[in-house]
Chain A
């Protein structure tokens, strides 16, 4: 890593996200391949941006795939889960991509952070679709696991317990779905309204 460019060093750090066994077997080779891609990217205008975009798009799904690739999950479920995790992680990777691009363009850090959040607010409405799809995929995988275990019985509940990564993804999707809509619409003014059945309701009126 010493003597490598910042780009290669960043990739080396991201490789730590892979499972230990996988990293020990393929980490050095992956880093070497990236090093050569990085050298090539230096010679092409916009090469770094293209390279990092490719890397950031494939990284979440390949990392999740390696963690979930176990005997007890079917291939299709592992693919579903990897897609679900990628969708959930997409906003964070978007921020990282923005930071890498900003750094490559030599923008000051304050400006980069401001722009990253502005971009995040701009794309948040689109991002709501991601956890919704992720939730459906996780639910489909969980349903199949339970079905394979013979329906919702003691064995089925045992399967749910064993399938904690799927349940975790499902809960994360629900959480993201609940949280995202309140993040993008500017300041909020609290108002109170009276509902005939429920009583007093607190409502939030967006001012922009």
Chain B
């Protein structure tokens, strides 16, 4: 039972989106911003202040690392710790979705979430 319990959430929403954006390949700030906006269908917009505040914390905590570039455009890439954090978060979402389906809370009868 213990092995199936996902780890508690460690990443805030903007931090999770940023680590997801740099999981597969190194990206710079503007690329991360646009990717998050595009893939979320325009619902998640991260401004430069929020973006670099989150990048700073992710670097400090070792979830991402720098991969070249210059002072104006640095590239970032998820570390093994960052990839593990993504897995933990996605496990939590998967578990929440399973429970929601079991109790009939998803998909909702009024059509929301379909």
Contacts and interface: CB of A to CB of B under 8 A. Distances in A.
Nearest to A51: B47
Given A29-B73, A32-B73, A62 B30 contact: no
Interface stretch (A53-61, A106-114, A157-165, A171-179): A53-61
Contact of A29 (B50, B53, B74): B74
A33 B48 contact: yes
Contacts of A57: 47
B56 A33 contact: no
Interface residues of A, number: 21
B51 A33 contact: yes
A198 to B, nearest CB: 50
Contacts, number: 50
Nearest to A63: B49
Interface string B51-63: 1110110000000
Contact of A28 (B33, B55, B56, B72): B72
Contact of B50 (A26, A31, A34, A62): A62
Contact of B45 (A26, A31, A33, A54): A54
Main SS of the interface on chain B?
A: helix
A36 B29 CA distance: 10
Interface of B: 28-30, 33, 45, 47-53, 55-56, 71-74
Interface of A: 22, 25-26, 28-34, 36-37, 54-55, 57-59, 62-63, 65-66
Given A29-B72, A29-B73, 15 more contacts: A22-B56, A26-B52, A26-B55, A28-B71, A29-B71, A29-B74, A30-B29, A32-B72, A33-B51, A33-B52, A54-B45, A54-B47, A57-B47, A59-B49, A62-B49
24 contacts: A25-B56, A26-B55, A26-B56, A28-B71, A28-B72, A29-B28, A29-B52, A29-B71, A29-B73, A30-B48, A30-B49, A30-B52, A32-B29, A32-B72, A33-B33, A33-B52, A36-B30, A37-B30, A37-B33, A55-B48, A55-B49, A58-B49, A62-B50, A63-B49
